[in-house]
Amino acid sequence: MTTFGFLVKSMFRRKLLVTLSMLSLITAFILFILLRSVAVLFSGVLEDVSDVRMQTASKYAIIFLLPHRYGEEIASVEGVVDVTHASWFGGALKEGDDSAMTFAVDPSTYFDVYDNYHISTEHLNAFLELRTAAVAPENIMERYDLEVGQKVPVVSTIFPTANGEPWIFDLVGTYRSDSETDFLPFLFHYEYLKEATGVSDVGWYTFTIADSEKASEIAQIVDSKFENSSDETKTMTESQAFRDMMQQFGDISLMMNGIIGAVFFTMLLLTANTMIHSYRQRIPDFAVLKTLGFSDGKVARFMMFESLLFCLTSATVGIGFAVLVLALVGPFLPAGLVLVVTPNTLLWGGCIAVALALVIGFIPAYSANRLVIVNALHAR
């Protein structure tokens, strides 16, 4: 028997109580990982949004289209570098599954404005050359089992075809982003949409500016150009636009962290109760250990080690299980919803486990240290 083996056996003296408490803590760590990965997803999107990229959309709602000529007027504003546009297509790559975003874009300018998206020259040229061409991000390729070179049928509820058949696109390439957590859309030629439907307006404009410090000034100039027109605009940095969109759901990160905090506070009380209960039941055992020659400090360390073992084991199992669940469930999540467990999340998980162990182990360890052998043996 080793000291470690002895401590493990001691910890499981009340198997049911400890196992149930451990399961609770494991569940808390599973929740922690899942919620943090959601929070990371949203914060990741915001972090990746450039402050030198701005968006002009309808002042009233993004569903209202803007005239095509606005692009040239925006480009004429001093400080604006590149301008592109995109239109929401609302396409479904699989029947009943419209979770992948589909945009009609201007391929000649889109990747200049979104310089954090990477596409090979070969694929970009193929995209530019063919009117029915489309490119898809890697996660959509994987999710819908697509291959470059194939024809992709897409059904749109916003722009249905005259005969009710799906739109057919030639998938000529793929692209990716610097960030794993970006929601990347399936892209095709705006010109194809324009010719097929006769639509001449666009969804929104995105443009880059030379100096992020001048974002407010430029936004004001752009919006003032279209003031008192039938298509008034609202211009803001892309990060602000994302924040506005996220605020419709509330502060995701705050909500997630709030839930995580509540879960761990409950766990703190529960596991502290278990540890104190476990300690009280084993007071005679600690008295025996001290009688046999285990010092006060050693017995206290046993208690603290047990607490660490309890929390770290639960954390390891919980985090491991959550990572496994994410890996298994990931392919079935909507395209773009990439839940990743970052090293930072793992580090936080470890830190929470250690902090929890220190807090819940402190009272039993302190009590074990102060335990008077004679009194404890007498109490038996």
Partner 1 sequence: MALINLENVCKSYKKGRDRVDVLNNISFRVAVGDFVALMGPSGSGKTTLLNLIGGLDRPSAGTVVVNEQDLSDLSSGRLARWRSESIGFVFQFYNLLPVLTARQNIELPLLLTKLGGRQRRKNAQLALDIVGLSDREQHTPARLSGGQQQRVAIARAIVADPKILVCDEPTGDLDRSTAIEILRLLQILNTEHDKTIIMVTHDPKAAEYAKRTMLLDKGKLVSRSSQPEVEAEVEA
Q: Which residues bind partner 1 (CB under 8 A)?
A: 1-3, 6, 9-10, 12-13, 284-285, 287-298, 373-374, 377, 380
C-alpha 372/C-alpha 348 separation (Å) is: 38
Question: 201-230 in b/e burial notation, b at 16+ Cβ within 10 A?
Answer: bbbbbbbbbeeeeebeebbebbbebbeeee
Q: How far is the CB of 374 from partner 1 (least distance, A)?
A: 5
Cβ nearer to partner 1, comparing 162 with 292:
292
DSSP code at position 207: E
Cα separation of 111 and 371, whole Å? 70
> Please, which residue, 293 or 331, has the CB nearer to partner 1?
293
Q: How far is the CB of 295 from partner 1 (least distance, A)?
A: 4
Residue pair 109/72 in contact by the 8 Å Cβ criterion: no
- Give the residue with the Cβ less far from partner 1, 9 or 151: 9
Judged by beta carbon, residue 2 or residue 163, the one nearer partner 1 is 2
Least Å distance between CB 258 and partner 1? Answer: 40
Residue 137: CB minimum distance to partner 1, A: 56
Shortest Å, Cβ 249 to partner 1: 50
CB burial readout 7-26, b (16+ within 10 A) else e: beebbeeeeeebeebbebbb
φ/ψ (deg, to 5) at 87: -135, 135
List all residues 6 or more positions away from 38 whose beta carbon is below 8 Å from its beta carbon.
252, 256, 339
Q: Of 221 and 377, which CB lies nearer to partner 1 in the complex structure?
A: 377
Task: Tell me the closest approach of the beta carbon of residue 304 to partner 1, in angstroms.
Answer: 17
Nearer to partner 1, 292 or 328 (CB): 292
Cβ atoms < 10 Å from Cβ of 139: 23
Q: Of the two residues 247 and 281, which places its CB atom closer to partner 1 in the complex?
A: 281
CA-CA distance, 90 to 231, in Å (whole number)?
22
Q: Which is nearer to partner 1, 111 or 279 (CB)?
A: 279
CA–CA distance, 101 with 136 (Å, rounded to integer): 10
CA distance readout (Å), 167 to 98, 110, 250: 14, 21, 36
φ/ψ bin of 204: left (φ > 0), alpha (ψ from -120 to 50), beta (otherwise) = beta
Q: Closest distance between partner 1 and the C-beta of residue 18, in Å?
A: 11
User: Minimum distance between the CB of residue 7 and partner 1, rounded to whole angstroms?
Assistant: 10
Question: Which one, 293 or 343, has the nearer CB to partner 1?
Answer: 293
Min separation Cβ 14 and partner 1, Å: 10
Q: Which two structure tokens, joined as six digits, stand for 248?
A: 């419709």
User: Which of 180, 203, 207, 181 is CA-nearest to residue 190?
Assistant: 203
Instruction: Return the number of the residue (252 or 371) whose C-beta is nearest partner 1.
Output: 371
As measured in angstroms, the least distance from the Cβ of 179 to partner 1 is: 51
Q: Are 302 and 290 in contact (CB under 8 A)?
A: no
CA distance 91 to 259: 34
